[in-house]
Every structure is written in structure tokens, then in C-alpha cells.
Structure 1
Amino acid sequence: MGIGGIGMSAFARLLHSRGHRVSGCDEAATDLTRTLEREGITVILGHGAGHAADIDVLVASEAVPKDHPELAAAREAGVRVRPRMELLGELLRAGPSVGVIGTHGKTTTTSMIAVALDGAGLDPSAFVGGIVPEFGSNARVGSGPFVAEVDESDRAFAELGCETAVFTNAEDDHVGGNQATYWETVEEQHAGFARFVAASGRVLLCADWPGLDALSTGAPSQLRYGQSESADYRAVDLQPDPEGTTFTVLYRGERLGEARVGLPGTHNVLNALAALAVAHLYGADFQQAASALAAFGGPGRRWQRVGELNGALIIDDYAHNATKVGAAVQAAQQTGRRVRVVFQPHRYLRTQQSWPRLADALMGADEVLVLDIAAASEEPIEGIHATLISERMAQLGHRGVRYLPERGEVLRHLRHTAGPGDVIVTMGAGDVWKLARELTETGE
């Protein structure tokens, strides 16, 4: 169910590639569902109890209500109903595995690990929450280690474990509200991270993020990566430039070699370092892994270069909470261009919880155009509006912020003012990415 989702479609591809007969359903046709059909996976539009006929297993997200007619019909017919996290746990237990957890950076880090292992000839399988250009997919089937993005927005993740847990950070996203898969408190969520780590063979945690050591005490073995002197794997001698960063990797003080990440931002240095650390742990040749990583351009919607408009660089980024937004702004500043952001707040609850932090994170941009909130199926919350962000920025002295809900006006403004010295970043987890495409496809 929900086969058009980025996670469920990856499951479908993995199982289909392993010889299972796979079908699925979703509300509407998308580019992703059409691609699945071209790959030989049957996709039915809409939901209905009749879909439970002639199947052995129904896989559903925890977000699907337990009384959904499709689930009820499946149970009545004796069909085994499996939560998606249960299926992921089975894949992680099947052999050597790497599970990437944390509030930020999972998709990019998972992609980088898979690309580095592939470049070094270790033939990984991969399950990613985004399209990896090198694979042309969000999934890869290989004979080597299974690398998976493990999403904490599904509370069942805490009952899983893997051979190597890569722990990027821990903050307060996916907390509160009435979402079926969200956590009631940040403490409960962080306890979930700790359970996953304790059930894993070892943890590779970011030494630069405070608090991860305390959450990782249950792991049988701990390793650290980061710029911190306490890290086992260290990135030193960082040399940032407009396109990315070159750095040196040390393992317990011994030089492994020089590396490069072709994505700007210190956060991407850390993501790349984690990938190179995993490659080293699994016996990969460092230079082969580093070369593959240097050529990596990022997964879809993570600092994705969409094209140009009047010489301006057009970037699309999934950043939707304050830490991710701040990191994306810092990456944009590294290009040396004038930073222009089109920001779409995501969810009323998230905006209610963090609009001051979102405003603060955007202050480093030269221009910010704020769209309306992307509801993502949530009901509006009284008093919560995108202007909370724009007005706070103006009160803090930002002179280039505007609330601009009419997308046609956003397009007209950018088409007439974009120039070679600009980087324009469409930012958010909603449909703001469409504006980036429109700017490059129909720009004057």
C-alpha cells in the first residue's frame, strides 16, 4: 500500500529484483509509479478491498489506519499483513548490514555509503529515501553489504538493529501532534535511537554532535567520526571552494588519504566522512571509495543542481527543519554567490513548534521569499501562518525577506532579477521543487 512513496517503492524494487511477484496501489499516478510499471511492477490506482485478492503478503506503513478497508479485507482473507519496518528488519538481519539513523542527513549519508562501497567493488544493496543518480533508483540489489536508511518517523524503527549503525545526530523532528508515526516526546524518540544502537553490532557516531555518546552506551562497540580530536575517523585540513570541499581523512591519527565531496557545506564533509569510515570498516580500498565519492553529485532533492537561469545557479533542497535549513544556507554561502531562497514551510505542527528557529536559520540568506505552509494532510492550526517566519526575520533586521504566496509572482520576480552572481535555492519538503523546474524550463 502506498507504493508511490519513496520508501515503499524502494521495498517494491528490492523484492521485485529478488524474484518476488510484486504489485501495489496508491492514490494517483506519478513519475515514480510510472517508472515502477516500466520495471514490471503492477501499480493499481486508488485503494479498495478487492486489492487483497490473490496476494500472500500485504506490506503497509504504520501511518495506514488499522481499520482501513484494504487491511481489514486482507486479514479476513487470511493474507499476512506486515508493517514496512518489520520487512526492513528482516532485510537488515539477512547478512552484513549498515543502518543509517539520525534526525538529519540520512538520505545523503546512505547514498554516499552505497556509492563509496560500489566504487570500491563491494557490490552493495541499498535502500534509500531518495533517488541516487548513480543507480537511477532509490534501491540497488547487490551481493555485498545491505545499506539502509532507517527513518525515525516510523516508531517501529526502534525495535530493529543491524551490524553497523551509523548515527548522524539527534534532534527533535517528528515529535508531537496526532501523526500516527510521530513520537510524543523528544526523550521518547531519543530512547528509540538508543534501542536501535544497542541492538546493533557496533555504532559509528558523529563525535561533533553533542549527546550521541550518551545514547550509544548500549552498543557492544563504539567508533566516532567528525572533526573533533576525540574522533576515530577525522576530517582535517578542510579546503572549501564554491563546488565542494577537499579534506584529509585520518584513522586514529594515521593518514588514510585525501578525499573530496562535490557538495558544499560542512555537514556534507561529515556525511562523506561517515561513508569513507564505513568503506574502511568493510575493507574497501580507500582511494577507490574516495574517487567514487568525489564524483557523487548528491541524491534527488538534496542540494540538487537543477540548472541555470540567466547565469544564476538553480538548486533544489529538501531542507525543512531549522538545522537542515541552516546547513543549506551555509552551503549556499560557500558558493560565493548571492544567496536567494524560496522557502516553503512544511506542516502546521512543525511550523508551530519551530517558526522562530526557522526564521533564524534563514537570516544568512541575502533574499528569502516565503511561500504558504505545505499542509501535508494536516489541518490548519489557528494563528500558525508562514508570515510568522517572514515577520520575525523583518523584525530581526533582514531587508530581503518577503511573504510571496503567489507562485506566478515568485517566478516573474526571479526571472527578471536573476543574474550570474546568484544561487537560487528552492527549499522545503513540499512541492516547492516544482518552482526550480519551472525556472529552468521556462525562464527568460
Structure 2
Amino acid sequence: MAPLPPSTMTDPSLPSPTPDAARPEPLHYHLMGIGGIGMSAFARLLHARGARVSGCDESVTELTAQLLAEGIAVGRGHSAAHVTTQPHSRIDVLVASEAVPKSHPELVAAREAGIEVRPRMALLDELLRAGPSIGVIGTHGKTTTTSMIAVALAGAGLDPSAFVGGIVPEFGSNARVGAGPFVAEVDESDRAFAELGSETAVFTNAEDDHVGGNQATYWATVEEQHAGFARYVAQSGRVLLCADWPGLADLCAGTQETLSYGQAEGADYRAVHLRPDPDGTSFTVTFQGEALGEARVGLPGVHNVLNALAALAVNHLYGGAFGAAAAALAAFGGPGRRWQRIGTLNGALVIDDYAHNATKVAAAVQAARQTGRRVRVVFQPHRYLRTQQSWPRLADALMDADEVLLLDIVAASEPPIEGIHTTLISDRMTANGHAGVRYLPDREEVLQVLRETAAPGDVIVTMGAGDVWKLARELVTPDAAGARP
């Protein structure tokens, strides 16, 4: 493949895995919001490469405690004092997401002190361009697909580095440091992602999530967002796109090299002869008509077959042994909050899933149906704007569940929107004939209902991007209710 085009972002060199002996001491990076799943992964990668790393976050969590245990300094709260008093020595680079206002005192203090303020996407850009790289883009499926690619490559002995928006059980972390290709989840909610590129872009889908409103993490229109996807793949060496998702090929028209994966006729990499069972799906993988071998994904749902197929396709492109990669994927239980098995309650299987837009919700319900159990969903709508845009689709996506218990909308820092309420979803479902939907804003009532009625033939799925995950853990082990996934 041709080399990647020059980056349009700022590009000071990252520290190498072994600090330069000519430099008296390594760069000091300070990460705002270090307790977030993305920033914590950056912290781990930088720390492993020899940089000095510190950070701050509003609250103390299990994740920040893990960073402290790994030797990364973490302060509670955000303050200009982190810069002016230098509690962890002088900062060379302050890293912040686009969601942090430019007027934030910590950023202002850094600029006044002559400290470089670097967007988090600039860091990711440098990591992607430092060597062979795989960037996973799309509006959903990124975390699972990125995890599966990293697990498959590691299983095949290719020793990848990884940057993942979830905890990968095989790595015990959301980051992995290796000598092989760098695999990264590239989040389209940060509009600067469109300035990036990778050696291989894995393009899962393109929908209308993170669109509308005036927030830093939202696009003005779906057309602008899709143009961002097109720009990313145009700046990449090649694209591996999902042939089952309409419209992706049009967005990839300007790429150097295009390959596809899916169930669709004509896809370069195909999953055929699917054999679903309650715990997952076995299938055959072909490349341009020739069988590569048998594979299995231990997570239910056709969407997970496609995620695993993408991982096996990337492994094939990078020369990994198919059998070893397939074996690693067959044993893979999924990243945190993606069809995560929490435990049981009265014989019922308790699952937690991050699904929060209509497509993800429908896929999670379909996965639950594959188990053959009675499907009971606890759904927490996420953000007022997203609910305003998609409540009819959310209601329709939940119709295939046997029972749906609906919590209040989690604001995620958004102001309420008049007339937008969870009951829009429940009322539509009832009007469409669903007899098992209830709006239950009292969490204790949700717990009581499930504890009294859970049975061995049930699967209970807590679903949403907010804090609904706590309920799953309270159902299984009440003492662990405060533990973060």
C-alpha cells in the first residue's frame, strides 16, 4: 500500500517505547478526564512508552484506582492548580477532549504558562501514523470489533498494540502494548476524527448517531458526519467495509484500495453457513470464494458474526494464521458492557449491554432472542436530544422483547427538552400491541420486580449508555453495586 498522506493535525513526536537517552527526562503528559475509558487508555499507552503521565477527573472510580496502582498519578477534580502548582512536576503537554470548553481554567492556565494543549485526537493521529495501523470507524460496533481484532491478532502471534473503548478481559485493560500493528477504536463523536487516517480503515456502518444539537460531540447534520467518514477512509491506505450496510461503498469511492466483508453476495470476506445456538454462532469464512476455515463467536447475534468476520479478515490481511486467530475469537467473551455476562438471579441469566441507539437495541434484543429464553429488558434512554430524535425507533426496536421495564432518561449533561420523556417509548409500544412494557422510574421497584419474578428460563438484559449497569450488578451481587464495569 502507498504510505498515508501527511497529517493535517499538529504532530510533535510521541515518546518512543525507550526514552531517548539524549533527553534528560521524558515528556510529562497531563490528561484531563483521565478516568474516562478513552483517556485512561491513552494514559496507559503513554506510560508504557516511557512518558511521565498524570491526570485528573471529577470522581474517583475503580478505573482511576487501577491507574494509580499502575503508577499513574491521578488527582480528583479539575483545577488550574494542577498547572500552576505542578503537584506532579512541570507539565509539558496537557491533553483534553473537544468536549472541554476552551475557557476552562485548567486550559487557560496551561496556555498562559506556555504549555502545549493537545487535543486527544492529535494523540491518536500520531499513534496511528507511527507504524502499521488499523482504525475502526462507524457509528456502532467499534468497541467489540476493535477488541476482536486485537484478540485475533494476539492469538495469531502478531503482538498488536491496542486502544479500545472498553475493558478487554484477555488484556485486563482497555489498552495493550505490543510490537505489532496498532489497533484503535476511532470515535466519530469527536469531529476531529475526520482529520485522521490509518493504514487499514475498518468501516462497520454509518448511521445518524451523534447528530444535531450544539454540543461539541455532535455533528450538525448526518451529511457532515458521513463526509467525515469519507475523509477518514480517503486518508487511509485501504478500507475494509461492511458489505451488508447500505451506502458504505459510496462513501469509500475515493480510497486507494477497497475490500469488503459480510454475508452479502460479492463480499470479499464472507460468513456463510451460520449455525446459531443459545451461546453464540459457528460459521464458515471464505475469501473471494475460497474457504479459509471454520470460526465461532461466543456472543449471540448476527452483528457479532460480522464483528468477528471483520477481525478474521484483518488477521488474514496482516498474515496471521487463521486457525489460531479463530480459536482466540471462539474463546473471547466480549469487552465490558457489550453483552457482558454478569451472573444469575434465581436461575435467570443476567446480561449488561451498552446498546443505546435503535440499531444497537434491536441487535441486542435479537441476540437475547437467540438464547431461547424469555427476554426481559431494563432500558435506560440516553440523552434528551437522542431520545427526541429516535424515540419511535427505540420503541420499535424493543417490541421483540417479552418484557420491557423503562427507566427515566439519563441527561448526560444535557438540559431537559420539553415534552421529551420515557413515556413516549412506552406509550408507542402499548399502542402497537406490546402488553409487557412498564415505565418504572423507581430503581428499587425495578429490583423488587425482577427479584420476585426471575426464573430459570429468563434472560434479563440491562441496556443503555448511562448507569443502568449498576442494576445488573445489584441483581446478582448487591454488595458490588458500586463497582464500575
In the alignment, which residue of structure 2 is the partner of 1:44?
75
1:228 paired with 2:290, answer: no
Aligned equivalents of 1:207 and 1:299: distance in 2? Answer: 24
In the alignment, which residue of structure 1 is the partner of 2:139?
103
Q: CA deviation at 1:179?
A: 1.3
**What SS does structure 1 have at the residue aligned with 2:52?**
coil
In the alignment, which residue of structure 2 is the partner of 1:270?
306
- 2:416 paired residue among 376, 380, 387: 380
1:13 paired with 2:44, answer: yes
In the alignment, which residue of structure 1 is the partner of 2:107?
71
Aligned equivalents of 1:422 and 1:224: distance in 2? Answer: 37
In the alignment, which residue of structure 1 is the partner of 2:121?
85
Aligned equivalents of 1:430 and 1:55: distance in 2? Answer: 33
Encode CA deviations 1:384-435: one digit per residue, 9 max, x unaligned. 0001001100000000000001000000000010000000000000000000
- 2:378 paired residue among 342, 346, 357: 342
- 1:280 paired residue among 316, 329, 337: 316
- 1:209 paired residue among 245, 250, 270: 245
**What SS does structure 2 have at the residue aligned with 1:22?**
strand
Aligned equivalents of 1:177 and 1:386: distance in 2? Answer: 20
Q: Which structure 2 residues correspond to residues 313-392 of structure 1 after superposition, within 5 A?
A: 313-392=349-428
1:178 paired with 2:214, answer: yes
Aligned equivalents of 1:234 and 1:260: distance in 2? Answer: 14
**What SS does structure 2 have at the residue aligned with 1:123?**
coil
Q: CA deviation at 1:181?
A: 2.1
- 1:3 paired residue among 10, 13, 34: 34
In the alignment, which residue of structure 1 is the partner of 2:10?
none
In the alignment, which residue of structure 2 is the partner of 1:300?
336
Q: Choose 209-218 or 177-186, whichever is displaced more.
A: 177-186
- Residue 409 of structure 2 aligns with an amino acid whose one-letter code is I
Q: CA deviation at 1:178?
A: 1.9
In the alignment, which residue of structure 1 is the partner of 2:12?
none
Aligned equivalents of 1:389 and 1:315: distance in 2? Answer: 22
- 1:188 paired residue among 224, 235, 238: 224
In the alignment, which residue of structure 1 is the partner of 2:468?
432
Q: CA deviation at 1:360?
A: 0.1
Aligned equivalents of 2:77 and 2:277: distance in 1? Answer: 48
Encode CA deviations 1:53-82: one digit per residue, 9 max, x unaligned. 310000000100011110010011110110
Encode CA deviations 1:118-170: one digit per residue, 9 max, x unaligned. 00000000000000000000000000000000000000000000000000000
Aligned equivalents of 1:334 and 1:245: distance in 2? Answer: 10
1:261 paired with 2:281, answer: no
Aligned equivalents of 1:442 and 1:218: distance in 2? Answer: 53
Give the % identical residues: 82
TM-score normalised by L of structure 2: 0.91
In the alignment, which residue of structure 2 is the partner of 1:410?
446
1:24 paired with 2:55, answer: yes
1:312 paired with 2:348, answer: yes
Aligned equivalents of 1:134 and 1:335: distance in 2? Answer: 24
Aligned equivalents of 1:180 and 1:166: distance in 2? Answer: 25
Aligned equivalents of 2:216 and 2:224: distance in 1? Answer: 15
Q: CA deviation at 1:51?
A: 1.1
In the alignment, which residue of structure 1 is the partner of 2:149?
113
Aligned equivalents of 2:74 and 2:237: distance in 1? Answer: 37
Aligned equivalents of 1:138 and 1:219: distance in 2? Answer: 30
Q: CA deviation at 1:277?
A: 0.1
In the alignment, which residue of structure 1 is the partner of 2:326?
290
List structure 1 runs of 4+ shifted beyond 4 angstroms: none
1:34 paired with 2:70, answer: no
**What SS does structure 1 have at the residue aligned with 2:477?**
helix
TM-score normalised by L of structure 1: 0.99
In the alignment, which residue of structure 2 is the partner of 1:246?
282
Aligned equivalents of 2:187 and 2:293: distance in 1? Answer: 32
Q: Which ranges of structure 1 fall in alignment gaps of 5 or more residues?
A: none
Aligned equivalents of 1:404 and 1:19: distance in 2? Answer: 50
**What SS does structure 1 have at the residue aligned with 2:244?**
coil
Q: CA deviation at 1:442?
A: 3.6
- Residue 417 of structure 1 aligns with an amino acid whose one-letter code is T
- Residue 35 of structure 2 aligns with an amino acid whose one-letter code is G
Aligned equivalents of 1:218 and 1:91: distance in 2? Answer: 24
Aligned equivalents of 2:166 and 2:254: distance in 1? Answer: 30
Aligned equivalents of 1:47 and 1:318: distance in 2? Answer: 27
- Residue 327 of structure 1 aligns with an amino acid whose one-letter code is A
Aligned equivalents of 1:250 and 1:80: distance in 2? Answer: 49
**What SS does structure 1 have at the residue aligned with 2:336?**
coil
Aligned equivalents of 1:290 and 1:181: distance in 2? Answer: 36
Aligned equivalents of 1:180 and 1:381: distance in 2? Answer: 18
Aligned equivalents of 2:79 and 2:346: distance in 1? Answer: 48
